[in-house]
Amino acid sequence: MLTLYNVVSADGFVARPDGNEDFIPDALWQKFLELCGKYRTILFGRKTYDAMQAYEKESIDEFEKLPIRKIVISRDQDFVPKNGYAIAHSVQDAFASDPDALVSSGPVINDLVLKNNLVGKIIQYKLPEKIGRGIKVFDQKNLNSAISIETMDWKG
């Protein structure tokens, strides 16, 4: 089963309404890289891929050097990620490539993997800061009781 990973504000948002993640501390990037190193594959959506490509070169280079498969999920048949990334056109295809992968994405992919009962575990870093309004990590109605949830409070 997939492991879903996200960093959320104290009020459960992964981003501000405009998609900005400025409230997430840079120090969590190393924790994310360490977690990635425990998996063979990471899955994420197109918007997450695009956001990551805008990160500082040093940060994205660290991620891209990890010896894991990096799969972007996109319905766009014409989308071609840069070298080092593979493409899957559905969450089912991505899951079939590695059913024990790590997923780190936004609510669209999060909800799809949850609705399709592909998630066995959720790992979340919860930040102390509330942002008031924003993009929710996923729809709570998509959770089922069989999913193990590990929430860590970030003290930074």
In tens, the pLDDT along 43-72 reads 999 999 999 999 999 999 999 999 999 999
Domain ranges of the chain: 2-153
For residue 155, what pLDDT band results from cuts at 50, 70 and 90?
A: confident
List the one residue out of 46, 23, 62, 24 whose CA is nearest residue 109.
46
In tens, the pLDDT along 69-126 reads 999 999 999 999 999 999 999 999 999 999 999 999 999 999 999 999 999 999 999 9
Taking the whole predicted model, whether its pTM rises above 0.85 is answered as yes
The matching CATH number, chosen from 3.30.360.10, 3.30.1490.20, 2.30.30.140, 3.40.430.10, for 2-153 is 3.40.430.10
Q: Residue holding tokens 């969590």?
A: 28
Please say if the pLDDT value at position 156 is more than 80: no
